[in-house]
Homo-oligomer: A and B are copies of this chain.
């Protein structure tokens, strides 16, 4: 197998970690957990797997400047900007076009930028096994996250028959065929999935070759494939048409559809590698505290923050502005202070953030806080 490629999808709306996250500075640009932006943590984890020139980051126009500022280890041209968001199928098609222009038979991973994974070594071992699997046969490899709770916020992947095993770094990794993809289940069903041991979380991590992806678009998503063909043409060594102009022309017309719906659920050559690394997508503020060491009362703080007579609060004060955030006699609150906005929300209500941001948007000049 020639050297693999890695394409990191760095998008997101910047809503769920408001006010730290903004449209131009979503979760992957924040050090939600750890000291570096999650995108940088992701880049650090994948760098041992591929040469820097083989690592791409796909992002959005509004985030491009900030993404370029943190992607220092890879060539500037490898940060590619989608002129408009068109869901994950289009992004995967763009990824395949970028990789295909460099290696028509290239194997590449598509990885989210904003997940928290501490065990980089296990992550790298799993990805190496997935690269080996994608090189061994014409399959679409998904990395399924071994579930730790009956979560209702993720799609699940049901394992089918055993397929092949790969030994990487002296560790054996078993890959199974995929029986089916299922959407976010109800609580009771999620409990059954967890108990069965047959189900894995779909975390949007895929490894495959350019020919396999392009064949899937041709077979299952012809309208997308037609648009993507123009992008592939613009990237062809013979043509070298300006990519940006092509994307601006083609992208707005691409169908909005997820790669799960467009390709994976319709394909019969999908296999799954159960993850051996820790994983958290840290979906919103309430998911943050477990990554920190709390005080004796269960409070997690950052920056200049004091909690008196309160328990299980998350209190983040902006670390540069020397502003003190003091919480007195409250429990289970999230308080996040930034230079221009402060959020106060009970943990149990954090999922209502979109309703709040509609109110903020309606304020005079409200866009400046989004």
Residues on A facing B (Cβ under 8 Å): 19, 304, 306, 308-309, 317, 322-330, 333, 335, 337, 339-346, 348-350, 352-353, 355-356, 359-360, 363, 369
Give Cα A317 to B359, complex, Å. 16
How far is it, in angstroms, between the C-alpha of A190 and the C-alpha of B340 when the chains are bound? 46
Label chain A's interface by main secondary structure: mixed
Chain B residues with Cβ below 8 Å from A330 are: 333, 344-346, 349
Contact call A342/B325, Cβ cutoff below 8 A: yes
Given contact pairs A323-B339, A323-B341, a sample of 11 additional A-B residue pairs in the complex whose CB atoms are under 8 Å apart? A19-B324, A19-B326, A306-B363, A308-B352, A324-B340, A325-B344, A326-B344, A326-B359, A328-B343, A330-B345, A344-B344
CB of B328 within 8 A of CB of A344, answer yes
Give the distance in Å from the alpha carbon of A359 to the alpha carbon of B327 in the complex.
11
Q: Note all chain B residues with C-beta closer than 8 A to A335.
A: 342, 344
6 closest A-B pairs (Cβ-Cβ)?
A329-B349, A328-B345, A324-B341, A308-B356, A328-B356, A327-B344
B342 touches A329 (CB 8 A): no
Contacts of A339 in B (CB 8 A): 323
Determine how close the nearest CB of chain B comes to the CB of A313; give it in whole angstroms: 9
**Set B309, B324, B326, B346: member contacting A329, Cβ < 8 A:** B346
A25 to chain B, nearest CB (A): 16
Q: Are B363 and A304 in contact (CB under 8 A)?
A: yes
- Please give, as numbers and ranges, the residues of chain B lying within 8 Å of A333 by CB-CB distance: 330, 344
Partner of A345, one of B329, B341, B345, B353: B329
- Give me 22 A-to-B residue pairs in the complex whose CB atoms sit less than 8 angstroms apart, sorted by A's number: A19-B324, A19-B326, A306-B356, A306-B360, A306-B363, A308-B352, A308-B356, A309-B352, A309-B355, A317-B342, A324-B369, A325-B341, A326-B343, A326-B360, A327-B345, A328-B352, A328-B356, A329-B350, A330-B344, A330-B346, A330-B349, A342-B342
Docked pose: A353 CA to B346 CA in angstroms: 21
> Which partner residue on chain B sits nearest A339 by CB separation?
B323
Using CB atoms, name the residue of chain B closest to A343: B326
Contact B326 A356 (CB under 8 A): yes
Residues of B within 8 A of A350 (CB): 328-329
Q: Across the two chains, which residue of chain B brings its CB closest to A335?
A: B344
Residues in B whose Cβ lies below 8 Å from that of A337: 342
Closest CB in chain B relative to A342 CB, distance in Å: 5
